[in-house]
Amino acid sequence: MMIELIQGKYVYWFYITLMMIGFYAMIAKGNLIKKIIGLNIFQTAVFLFYISIAVSEGSTAPIMLAESYGSLDAGTVTYTNPLPHVLILTAIVVGVSVTAVALALVIRIYKTYGTIDEDRIARLEQESP
């Protein structure tokens, strides 16, 4: 029972661990680029979760095998569920877009304040708003 539980779920626990590492970096790190690195870890961990939804044992990649081209049905082969893959393709693009905008902001912040440390920026902002 216990072993079954662990066998069935350990991948999920890995992704949760990864997510929490990224999440922690996002909210606890003072360095603005570190936050973005955390953001990337967080997002890819969520992607991993989506991909792991699709996994089913004994299936093959969701591209029709060449031998079943002629017959219009998918045949006897079982293919992996392609839908989560599509969703994650979209989400990866969204992820890199957010990263790009965030980095552009960090570059501007460094130009303005000469630091990318959250506490220092807060202090500078207090001293001369």
Partner 1 sequence: MIDFFLLFFLVISAIFAVTTRDILSSVIVLGSYSLVMAVLWTRFNSVDVAFTEAAVGAGITTFLLIAALSRTLRIEEEPEIRESVFPLFQRLKNLLPLFVVLATGAVLVYSTLDMPSFGDPKAPANLHVAPYYIEKSVPETGVVNFVTAILASYRGYDTLGEVTVIFTAGICVILLIRRRKR
Partner 2 sequence: MSEHLPILVVLIPLFCALLIFLAGVFQKRAAWAIASLATFLAFAASVKLLALATAGGRISYRLGGWEPPWGIEYVVDYLSGYVLTIISFIAFMIAVFSRDYVKKQVGLDREVNFYAIYLLLITGLLGMIVTGDIFNLYVFLEIASLAGYALVAVGKKKGAIVASYNYLILGTIGAVFVLLGIGHLYMVTGTLNMADLRGLLPGLYHSKVVLTAFAFFVIGFGLKFALFPLHTWLLSAHSLAPSAVSSILAAAVLKVNVYALIRVMFTVYTPEFIYNVVPLAEIFFIIAPVAILAGSIMAIAQTNIKRMLAYSSIGQIGYITLGLALANETALTGSLIHILNHALMKGGLFLIAGCIIYQTDIYDISRLKGMGRKMPVTMAAFTICGLSMIGVPLTVGFISKWYLALGVLEAGRWYFIPLILVSSLLTAVYFWRVIEWAYFHKAASEEALPGRKIAEAPVLMLIPIGIIALFCLIFGTAAFIPEEFARRAAEFLLGGI
Partner 3 sequence: MKELIIIRVVARLMIPFIQLFALYVIAHGELGPGGGFQGGVILGASFILHVLAFGLEESRRRLSEKVTDLLNPAGLLLFAGIGLICLIGGGMYLEYDRLPVTANPILASQLGIYGIEIGVGITVAAIMVTLFFEMAHRHDD
Q: Is 22 in the site for partner 1 (CB under 8 A)?
A: yes
Residues 56-95 as x/- pattern, contact with partner 1 by CB under 8 A: xxxxxxxxx----x--xxx---xxxxxxxxxxxxx-xxxx
Give least dist CB 129 to partner 1, A.
Answer: 18
Residue 103 backbone phi and psi in degrees, to 5: -65, -40
- CA–CA separation, 38 vs 82, rounded Å? 28
Q: Would you say 5 or 66 has its CB closer to partner 2?
A: 5
Q: Which residues in this chain contact partner 3 in the complex, by CB under 8 A? A: 61, 63, 89, 93, 100, 103-104, 107, 111
**Hey, is 79 helix, strand or coil?**
strand
Query: Within 13 Å and on the Cβ side, how many CA atoms surround 128?
Result: 2
Residues 49-108 that bind partner 2 (CB under 8 A): 49-50, 53, 83-84, 87, 90-91, 94, 97-98, 101-102, 105-106, 108
Rounded to an integer, what distance in angstroms lies between the CA atom of residue 115 and that of residue 106?
Answer: 9
- Residue holding tokens 């790009």? 100
Residues numbered 4 to 43 that lie near partner 2 (CB under 8 A) are 23, 26-27, 32, 35, 39, 42-43
Collapse the DSSP code of 60 into the 3-class scheme (helix H, G, I; strand E, B; otherwise coil) and give the result: strand
